Amino acid sequence: MANIILLGPPGAGKGTQARKLVEDRGMVQLSTGDMLREAKTSGTEMGQRVAEVMDRGELVTDEIVIGLIEEKLATTEANGFIFDGFPRTLPQADALGRLLARMGQKLDAVIEMRVDDEALVRRITGRFTCGNCGEVYHDETRPTKVEGTCDVCGSHDMKRRADDNEDSLKTRLMEYYKKTSPLIGYYYHAGDLFAVDGLAQIDAVAASMAAILDQQA
Ligand code: AP5
Ligand code: MG
C-alpha cells in the first residue's frame, strides 16, 4: 500500500480527498492541522500558543509538527499513510524522509492539488465541518442533505474554523507560497510529483487520484 502526500494551498481539497481515500482504500489520514486543532482544545500552555499562531494563519514551528508526526508514525499501524498538510517546509520534508526510512518505508507519490486563489476564497469562506465526525461540507458546493444535520453521523454540531476568514486566509496563502510551494520543486526533483486539477468536481478529483495510486500499485 502506498504512502502519499497531498500538497496544496488552503482549501485545495486535501482533507476532502483524504477522507475519501480512507473510506475507499482503508488508508490512514495524518492531518497535522487536525492534530494541532486537537492540541488547541487541550487547555495546555502549548495548546494556547498553537491556537494564537494558527488563528493568525501562520505556520506552527517545525519542531512541534515533526514531533506530532513522529509520535503518530510510531504508534499507528497502517496500510498506507496519507500525509494531509504535512510536510509544509523543506526541513519537514527532510524529516519525513528520515522517519520513513527509519521504518523501512518510502514515499510513493506526492500529489499536488492545483487550484487558483479566487476559488480558494470561495471554498474557505463557505466551509463548515461536523464537530462530531469531521465530515467536510460547503455552503454551496457540498451542503448537508438536511440543513444543520450531518449526512454521515446525524449530529447537529456544525463548526466553522477560527482561521477561515479572509484576513487569516491571506496570511495562510502567503505562508504557502513562501514556505510550502518550494516542496513542489523538491519532490519533482526526487521523481515523486504528480499533479491533479483541484478545480474539478470532488468525484473527478478523486478519480484522478485513484488513477495515480493504481499506477503506483
Ligand atoms: P490545515 O488544517 O492543514 O489547513 P490548510 O492547509 O489551510 O488547508 P485546509 O484544511 O483549509 O483545506 P483543505 O485543502 O483540507 O480543503 P478541504 O478539503 O477542507 O492547517 C491549518 C493551520 O495549522 C495552518 O495554517 C498552520 O497554522 C497549522 N499547520 C498545519 N500543518 C502544519 C505544518 N505541517 N507545519 C506548520 N503548521 C501547520 O476543502 C475546503 C472546502 O472546499 C470545503 O468546504 C469542501 O467541501 C470544498 N471542496 C473541496 N473540494 C472541492 C471541489 N473539488 N469542488 C468544490 N468544492 C470543494
Ligand atoms: Mg484540511
Mean pLDDT, consecutive 10-residue stretches, the chain (217 aa), reads: 94 97 96 93 88 96 96 93 98 98 94 95 95 95 96 97 93 97 97 96 97 88
State phi, psi for 114 to the nearest 5 degrees: -95, 120
Pocket probe for ligand 1: among 34, 59, 83, 86, the residue whose CB has the most ligand atoms within 8 Å is 59
Atom 1 in ligand 1: residue holding the nearest Cα? 33
- Active site (annotated) includes residue 161: yes
Nearest CA to ligand 1 atom 52: 202
* Catalytic site includes residue 25: no
Grid coordinates representing 7 are: 500538497
Task: Give the ligand whose atoms come closest to the C-alpha of residue 160.
Answer: 1
| pTM higher than 0.85 | yes
How far, in Å, from the CA of 10 to the mean position of ligand 1?
Answer: 4
Active site residue 14: yes
- Sheet containing 158-159: order of strands: 136-138, 127-130, 158-159
| Cβ of 172 less than 6 Å from ligand 1 | yes
Helices 90-102 and 62-75, packing angle to 10 deg: 20
Alpha carbon distance, N-terminus to C-terminus of the chain: 7
Cell of 64: 512541534
Cα of 22 vs centre of ligand 2, distance in Å, is: 14
Q: Give the residue from 143, 209, 184, 199 showing the smallest Cα distance to 11.
A: 199
Question: How far does residue 33's CA lie from ligand 1's centre (Å)?
Answer: 8
Q: What one-character-per-residue DSSP string does 154-181 give? A: ----EE--TT-SHHHHHHHHHHIIIIIT
Which residue has cell 479566487? Answer: 118
Per the listing, cell 476532502 goes with: 16
Is residue 114 within 6 Å of ligand 1 at its C-beta? no
Residue 127 falls in the annotated catalytic set: yes
Ion ligand 2 nearby residues (CB, 5 A):
15
The reply to whether 98 belongs to the active site is no
SS3 of residue 39 by DSSP:
helix
Binding site membership of 14 for ligand 1 (Cβ less than 6 Å): yes
Residues 6+ apart with CB under 8 A from 33: 15, 84, 85
Nearest CA to ligand 1 atom 42: 123
Residues 147, 153: Cα–Cα separation, whole Å: 14
What pLDDT is recorded for position 1?
67
